[in-house]
Structure 1
Amino acid sequence: MVLGATLFVGAGSWMRYVLADDYRMQVIPSESMRPTHSPGDLVWFDRVAPQEVRRGDVVIFAAPASWVNGAGMQEGQQVLERVVALGGDRIAWEPGRAGLTLNGKPLAEPYLMDAAVPATMSFDVTVPEGRMFLMGDNRSNSFDSHLRVRDEGRGTVPVSAVWGVTRAEVPDAVALAVLVSACGVPVFLVGGGLGIGSLVARRRAAKAARNAAPTGPGRPAWSYEAASSD
């Protein structure tokens, strides 16, 4: 029973205090990343350093001040978008084009909600070093970089604002902690059951031993001797 409780509590503490520094789970709040992520989906994020961010990554980042105006958003609010261009890249689109161009070449985007809507407003931006250009997969319902090209930074966001990148699967460390915690429950229950059973058995054995004790001929087991008086 003690072992089960230790496994359950220990795994829970590990997830709360250790894994929280490297992983985060978040509920998708909007339609902007459909069909990759739909509202209500639970998504794990793996913490990464700015230099580890790559084109195509779906990232969670803190909204900069330039994203606040007119967006119903607060500075620092966590936002989920896909990185389509990084520092030094030129990203562009204009009506009539089948898709975006990256550094003058067509950009393949198989993840789009609607391939016929690669953007809703024309843009042509060269991303400054240390920044990124982000767009949602549901371009007709995503207030992202391409709708903010007139803002400070031309819609780009510092790569340092990224907290983490989405994981396709539950991280191994988290899965292990959940498994250990889950194993602790049956161990605790089995241990508790065995402990209670052992206690009941001991009590029954003691009672049987008392009932079987010799009392002498003609003397009932419940009788007692009165104190003699001189």
Structure 2
Amino acid sequence: MGLVLLVGAVALLGTGYTGVTVAGSSMEPTYSVGQQVFLERIDAGEVRRGDVVLYRIPDRYQGAVVLQRVIGLGGDRVAARPGAQLTVNGKPLAEPYVMDGDPSAGSPAYGVVVPKGRLFLLGDNRGNANDSRFFLSEQSGTVAATAVRARVLEDRTALLAQVSTALFGLLLTLMALALGIAARRARQQRWPAPVLPTSA
């Protein structure tokens, strides 16, 4: 039982979660350079607006993995102008996570409709993020949802539960081994080795 729990939990941790170290400042102040971030692996259909996702596409950023925030999903109209709040489908988007509270920092004016199956992504540090705004000539700057590898874990309850299960499984396995060794020793002490008779 303990071994089953241990192997199952470790397998799920290895395939369902990952971690990265933040290498740039484009997601400040939410994530700082050198910070370790834990993520859950997800499919394209699980991406939500507002998620911070890890993705990779070969023709941008020299194929490196990138951490950015999902602002628009397929069908959304995303628009921005200097000195104003960004809008999604005509409604101002509350962005308390943006660096210095200025969502238009370093941003050209734009208005795009996100193609189906694609995502419009921005960094939280708008004044220092090379994001969808600077690739508008390439499918409105969007990225295929299938390029997403994982989503940042805002709630680590599930991850902690898996770690706890793995530790519990390890404990049960060690206890079973210890009991097995103790039982074997007890049997050996109960039945001493027979004395063979010798000839006169």
TM-score band, normalised by shorter chain = 0.7 to 0.9
Q: Counterpart of 1:192? A: 177
**1:27 pairs with 2:20:** yes
Q: Counterpart of 2:134? A: 147
- C-alpha separation in 2, matches of 1:126 and 1:184: 51
- Of the candidates 75, 82, 85, which is equivalent to residue 99 of structure 1? 85
CA contact (8 A) 1:93 1:101 kept: no
- Of the candidates 52, 56, 64, which is equivalent to residue 50 of structure 2? 56
Are residues 203 and 119 of structure 1, via their aligned partners in 2, closer, same or farther at CA, if it must alter by over 3 Å? same
Are residues 64 and 157 of structure 1, via their aligned partners in 2, closer, same or farther at CA, if it must alter by over 3 Å? farther
Q: What TM-score results when the alignment is normalised by the length of structure 1?
A: 0.68
**1:41 pairs with 2:26:** no
Structure 1 unaligned residues grouped into runs of 5+: 211-220
Are residues 202 and 81 of structure 1, via their aligned partners in 2, closer, same or farther at CA, if it must alter by over 3 Å? same
- Of the candidates 5, 8, 21, which is equivalent to residue 7 of structure 1? 5
- C-alpha separation in 2, matches of 1:107 and 1:13: 39
RMSD: 3.2
CA contact (8 A) 1:4 1:185 kept: yes
1:146 is paired with a residue whose SS is helix
Count of matched residue positions in the alignment of Structure 1 and Structure 2:
196
CA contact (8 A) 1:64 1:157 kept: no
Structure 2 unaligned residues grouped into runs of 5+: none
CA contact (8 A) 2:107 2:126 kept: no
1:114 is paired with a residue whose SS is helix
- C-alpha separation in 1, matches of 2:119 and 2:176: 55
- Of the candidates 171, 178, 182, which is equivalent to residue 167 of structure 2? 182
Q: Counterpart of 1:89? A: 77
**Larger radius of gyration between Structure 1 and Structure 2:** 1
Measured after TM superposition, the shift of residue 113 of structure 1 is 2.5
